[in-house]
Amino acid sequence: MDLVLLEETLRERGEPAFRARQVWEWTARGAPGYDAMTNLPRALRAELASAVRFSTLAVETERESRDGTVKTLFRTADGHPVEAVLMRYRDGRRSLCLSSQSGCPLTCTFCATGTMAFGRNLTASEILDQALHFRRLTEVDHAVFMGMGEPMLNLDEVLTAARRLPDLGITHRRTTVSTVGWLPGLRRFVDEVDEPIRLALSLHAPDDELRSRIMPVNERYPVADIVAECRRQAEATRRRVFVEYVMLAGVNDAPEQARALAALLGRDHFKVNLIPYNPWAASAGGQATGARPNTPPTAAGGLYEGSSRERIAAFRHELERARVPVTVRLTRGRDIEAACGQLAAAPRVRRRSAPGSTPAPARPQALSAPRSRT
Ligand code: SAH
């Protein structure tokens, strides 16, 4: 629901100030439409139904995984695709994975979203409408900004949305904003966010040489700077920053890389989340996986192979020996391409160029994200 339009519409009608709050409270608690808002005059309900669309997003498709994970593809009013995921866990947790942008201007080589065309930043209402969609299906209690897009490139809208999530049942402590380490936004997050919203850093490599190879954004904001900024956050909030580390066979999963990671992070400020790599596109179905298991990638991320269980366990063991807190993330919704890094609404527009081919089309100037070097 476009909350700005809602307030304008109510004001123009001369409605009392509490009306907008009434409408929001119903909506946040999962009401299916204006008609359910029984403390609003009937005529007003009808008028709102025609003046303010109940959701800014239209559901295009929805798939449910064997494990209960639900992935929904939405369209914005101007046609941009947006995906979001509901994860239901055995212990009762209901966690939402929300998108902050349609597509993503960054080109992390292992992430499917980076291969689709970048659309635009989402508004706070478009972000909230993803959450509200699932709130109408079930109660929810956790949210992660780990869907499409880089939240720090759209920080104001992300925060406006995150600040309303408690009304849906998701407290700030159970809300996590995840970033590649886009420094301007990250600095603002550290300086300006007073709420106990959690921060996660997608690191994926312990040094600049490797990180730049798998995440071109690292050319712009190197490891030392982003880790320092996250350490500042951990010190200011006295809570650990999560470090996400997707396990790519033969690329970043060696024991010595675990030791380098431990030395980089230290014991006190971070908690590492090892993420099993989720194949997508060319590699989903297994054809291309393992094409070059022990060579670093040169082009599209569909060529990666996930680290074996043993390799992940050994990596974890090294971190534990160095007393760095570490967990291995459960993968959910793989069978419906709803797992981490798999969100890329069709049609897939591949704009990552293979060596020797024509370069990818230019990205929006305002964002001026670094290009992939491959
Ligand atoms: N741009 C933000 C938000 C997206 S989060 C960020 O990068 O943090 C998406 C998370 O899933 C990130 O940690 C990302 O690195 C991880 N991811 C991306 N592709 C993946 C894949 N194929 N398998 C597993 N995790 C992946």
Report which ligand 1 atom has the smallest distance to the Cα of 204.
15
Statement: residue 293 has pLDDT above 90? no
Q: Chain centroid to CA 226: how far?
A: 18
pLDDT the model gives residue 342: 77
State the average pLDDT over residues 184-211: 98
Rounded Cα gap, residues 280 and 112, in angstroms: 7
pLDDT the model gives residue 313: 97
77-80: long-range contacts, CB 8 A cutoff, minimum separation 24: 77/53, 80/119, 80/120
Q: Order of strands, edge to edge, in the sheet holding 57-64?
A: 57-64, 70-76, 81-88, 94-97, 142-145, 175-179, 198-202, 241-247, 270-276, 326-328
272 band by pLDDT with thresholds 50, 70 and 90: very high
Which residue would you say has higher pLDDT here, 336 or 144?
144
pTM of the model: 0.88
294 band by pLDDT with thresholds 50, 70 and 90: very low
Ligand 1 neighbour 146 (Cβ under 6 A): yes
State the average pLDDT over residues 198-227: 98
Statement: residue 67 has pLDDT above 80? yes
C-alpha of residue 34 to centroid of ligand 1, in Å: 36
Distances (CA, A) of 319 to 87, 123, 267, 323: 28, 39, 9, 6
Catalytic site includes residue 230: no
State the average pLDDT over residues 62-91: 94
State the average pLDDT over residues 272-281: 90
Statement: residue 25 has pLDDT above 50? yes
Which residue would you say has higher pLDDT here, 244 or 344?
244
pLDDT the model gives residue 371: 36
In the chain, % of residues over pLDDT 90: 78
Task: Write down the mean pLDDT value for the chain.
Answer: 88
State the average pLDDT over residues 6-33: 96
295 band by pLDDT with thresholds 50, 70 and 90: very low
C-alpha of residue 4 to centroid of ligand 1, in Å: 31
Ligand 1 neighbour 241 (Cβ under 6 A): no
Mutate to test the pocket of ligand 1, among 83, 178, 312, 329 (most ligand atoms within 8 A of CB): 178
Statement: residue 201 has pLDDT above 60? yes
Among 111, 82, 84, smallest CA distance to 96 is for: 84
pLDDT the model gives residue 298: 40
State the average pLDDT over residues 261-274: 98
Q: Give pLDDT tens digits for 352-371.
A: 443 333 333 333 333 333 33
Whose Cα sits closest to atom 18 in ligand 1? 341
What single DSSP character describes residue 251? T
Q: Give pLDDT tens digits for 80-126.
A: 999 999 999 999 999 999 999 999 999 999 999 988 889 999 999 99
Return the exposure string of 148-158: e unless at least 16 CB atoms fall within 10 Å of the residue's CB, then b. Answer: bbbbbbbbebb
Which residue would you say has higher pLDDT here, 243 or 299?
243
Ligand 1 neighbour 243 (Cβ under 6 A): no
State the average pLDDT over residues 144-172: 98
Ligand 1 neighbour 178 (Cβ under 6 A): yes
Rounded Cα gap, residues 323 and 331, in angstroms: 24
347 band by pLDDT with thresholds 50, 70 and 90: low
pLDDT the model gives residue 338: 78
